[in-house]
């Protein structure tokens, strides 16, 4: 099941990139490469068709992303699995111990 969802997800990604690149911009870079003529998709242009295809592919992308995440949640481990964090008290500062037989100035 995971393989099927992942395959559909990858295909949706590829087709989504292609469909977005097929859409013409509002002047700008599309006009530089001769994209101002939209006779390939009819008189009204490709705006309606490509917009609907983009929305459909985006929905498929979203659904497959969430589905794959839910399917692999049980099998994929976390970095923190099996690790415990030890709480240790901060180290106490060392206090010099003076002996009674030695003078502290001679050291």
> Model confidence over 3-49: pLDDT tens digits?
999 999 999 999 999 999 988 765 555 555 555 555 555 555 556 88
10 located within any domain: yes
Q: What is the pLDDT of residue 49?
A: 85
Say if residues 67 and 8 touch (Cβ distance below 8 Å).
Answer: no
Q: What is the pLDDT of residue 41?
A: 55
Q: How many CA atoms lie within 13 A of 96 on its CB side?
A: 5
More confident residue, 55 or 89: 55
39 located within any domain: no
Range of the structural domain that residue 71 is part of: 1-23+45-76
Helix, strand, coil fractions of the chain, as percent rounded to 5: 50, 0, 50
32 located within any domain: no
Tally the domains of the chain.
Answer: 1
């Amino acid at each position: 099941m995971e393989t099927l969802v992942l395959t559909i997800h990858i295909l949706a990604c590829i087709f989504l990139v292609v469909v977005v690149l097929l859409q013409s911009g509002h002047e700008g870079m599309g006009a530089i490469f001769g994209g101002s003529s939209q006779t390939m998709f009819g008189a009204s242009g490709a705006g309606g068709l490509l917009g609907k295809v983009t929305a459909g592919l985006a929905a498929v992308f979203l659904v497959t992303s969430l589905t794959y995440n839910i399917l692999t949640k049980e099998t994929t481990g976390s970095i923190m699995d099996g690790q415990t964090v030890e709480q240790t008290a901060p180290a106490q500062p060392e206090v010099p111990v003076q002996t009674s037989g030695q003078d502290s100035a001679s050291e």
